[in-house]
Homo-oligomer: A and B are copies of this chain.
Amino acid sequence: MFPAPEGVRGIGDDCAVIPRSDGVDTLVSTDLLTEGVHFLRHRIEPRELGWKAAAVNLSDIAAMGGKPVDTFLSLAIPKDCDEGFIAQMMEGYADASRHYGTPLLGGDTCASADALTLNVTVLGECPHGKALLRSAALPGDAIYVTGTLGDSAAGLKALLEALPETPLTQALIRRHYHPVPRIAEGQQIAACTKAGAAMDLSDGLASDLRHILKASGCGASIDLKALPLSPELLDFCREYGADPLELALCGGEDYELLFTLRPGCAPPLPCSCIGRITSGKQLIWEGSERDFKGFEHF
């Protein structure tokens, strides 16, 4: 129903890619966060909610290797949400805006019958034709991720199960509430002439990798022993009897980058090689008999 015009990439990637006449491609991403689905209003610090709303959108620009430029925020505010909450939430949003140099240029504020709802639109840019796409993986590519996986999911588990507040659980909860968009990393990948596909990890590797495989028409083999797991995640799993693989593969909201590079290319940034793209359609988890699925929001 919604064909994109010639030369424009519309629905199906982390951002739309719109060529301009000045040799720059405009990148656009939009994401809606609503109470009871993406966050629990009475369990999140408002300042963290504001940060997170901005950060997860900036992460979509990072996923394309772009530079985020400016943002737009729509807010639907229920009657029982006080001004102090909104003011602190906007402080968190402003923290992210300042930190990443992405001014808030507009938006909309209205009443909500029930749920606090935020919609963020981010505009970014990259040199024409240089955006990293989900569809650009080729058989033989090595598969990488930045950072570590599963920390955010462990933090969410600590929150939902009201586990004791310790330095360990607090560090993981912070990973859940305070995602760091990998903007510089995305640009480093995009600048690499041997880059393949890329996206950001919002729904868990098991789910997100499938998007790349589908868009690229490939399969993959993932070495489970190579997954980057933080010492905090491993401590947490020992202490609370959780499965690190489950958290790392099926937990969401890491906002790390998942990307591929052509064979023999040295990665231009610190990252972990976790497998390779194959010519079949299968996704193989080396080291386990299990299959893994992605993350479901509340």
Measuring CB to CB, which residues of chain A are less than 8 angstroms from any residue of chain B? 1-5, 8-11, 15-16, 18, 20-22, 24, 26, 28-32, 34-38, 69-70, 72-76, 90-91, 94, 97, 103-108, 110-115, 117, 119, 121, 123, 297
Contact = CB atoms under 8 A, between A and B. Distances in A.
Could you say how many copies of this chain the assembly holds? 2
A70 B28 CA distance: 11
A117 B115 CA distance: 10
Nearest to A3: B103
Given A16-B70, A36-B113, A94-B1, A106 B28 contact: yes
Nearest to A9: B105
Contact of A97 (B2, B72, B104, B105): B2
A103 B29 CA distance: 15
Contacts of A38: 110
A106 B29 contact: yes
A30 B107 contact: yes
Nearest to A57: B108
A111 B297 contact: yes
